[in-house]
Structure 1
């Protein structure tokens, strides 16, 4: 499911997460799966009913303090030196502040997110950050900075597109359609026999 998200196969991601939800009895894994399924619905943009239904399963009383949880995640990831988690939390908070119209706070989140993502390096977070920077600078009337952020976004997009094309051409990409039965791919071990994924599980 996570790989499906990374290559924008949202229908496949949804199918895999839904299957995983059906098969798991472990509470932490269930929460992880639900969170990722929610991200699929959010990314698709037109899945509000499914998202609300899913969020209700997480917290039926609708008391879902997202910003507080994100800030806690940010504190924990900083304490544990989890750079990607920190960068993602910062850019997500930046996006929330942007949507709420608080451009100064949004900028205070997205600039360090971009800097951290550049150090890791994490091109997906850089792409997300540069898109937010572009939109933020446009909204603030900073046309030069908006143009610069748009150019960064374009560069990251091109690189990620190339990576996407390469990943989709690999035989392992066939796992995106797997929700039942034996895995649809065989692995060739270096200097060894072909191994099915099922034997590795």
Structure 2
């Protein structure tokens, strides 16, 4: 079996506008996909390599896969399966703008994960209507971050966490046993109250 690869490429265009298509993506014809992904000059000729900021420059090649019988492989000592790949020159590169945008993207993911970690502590009311709740939220987040950074807990905190764990696990287990069709418990007021006091990692471990 053999396959042929034609102009495989990966590009990362900075400051580009979103694609606009006139119909659902799944209804596009192969020729229409090419029109979306490739730029065209005014005369209709394609010159995508001049326009895109490629990470992997367009590369073509051929691959051949062969498989022989087990008995033949034992007799000849050849591999049972063999794959041969012949590619053109492979060029990898990253533009300055692309590097900048990737760092920005990674920073956005980091910020999102940080917010998600403490999402269960965020007040449901707007900031202007309940600033006190938001100050409490900020205090809890900073306190937990400092606690993680120090890596030390007092005996009082250890005892408190042990009591919380005993209360949480027993209550959560009893609620699950009371209704075997439930996969999670997210509508119990006491569980909600305890969740607001705990880190997301701790909640997942105890559940």
Question: TM-score band, normalised by the shorter chain?
Answer: under 0.3
Q: Where is the helix percentage greater, Structure 1 or Structure 2?
A: 1
Structure number with greater CO (CA < 8 Å, separation at least 6) is 2
Give the structure-1-normalised TM-score: 0.26
Q: Where is the strand percentage greater, Structure 1 or Structure 2?
A: 2
Give the structure with higher Rg (CA): 2
